[in-house]
């Protein structure tokens, strides 16, 4: 971390993740697991899928698994 509180992401990691100047990133932090850097649109997609899965009524296949 720099003097201004900025986090430096090495060039190799930026290239691998396809991130560049001006991109918005989401930092997720956990004391035990550390920090994850995520593109907001990927996280939003994950949340949408998770919420849709929990809001859908169980199908015959999933009802059999829970009984």
Domain ranges (residues) in the chain: 11-66
pLDDT score, position 12: 95
Decide if 37 contacts 27 (C-beta within 8 A): yes
Cα–Cα distance, 21 to 9 (Å, whole number): 11
Average pLDDT of the residues in 34-40? 85
pLDDT digits (tens, 9 = 90+) for 39-52: 888 888 878 888 88
> Whole-model pTM?
0.52
pLDDT tens digits, 4-22: 988 888 999 889 888 889 9
């Amino acid at each position: 971390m720099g003097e201004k509180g900025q986090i430096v992401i090495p060039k190799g990691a930026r290239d691998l993740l396809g991130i560049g100047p001006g991109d918005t990133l989401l930092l997720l932090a956990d004391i035990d697991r550390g920090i994850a850097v995520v593109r907001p649109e990927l996280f939003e997609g994950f949340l949408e899928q998770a919420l849709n899965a929990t809001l859908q009524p169980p199908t015959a296949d999933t009802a059999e698994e829970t009984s």
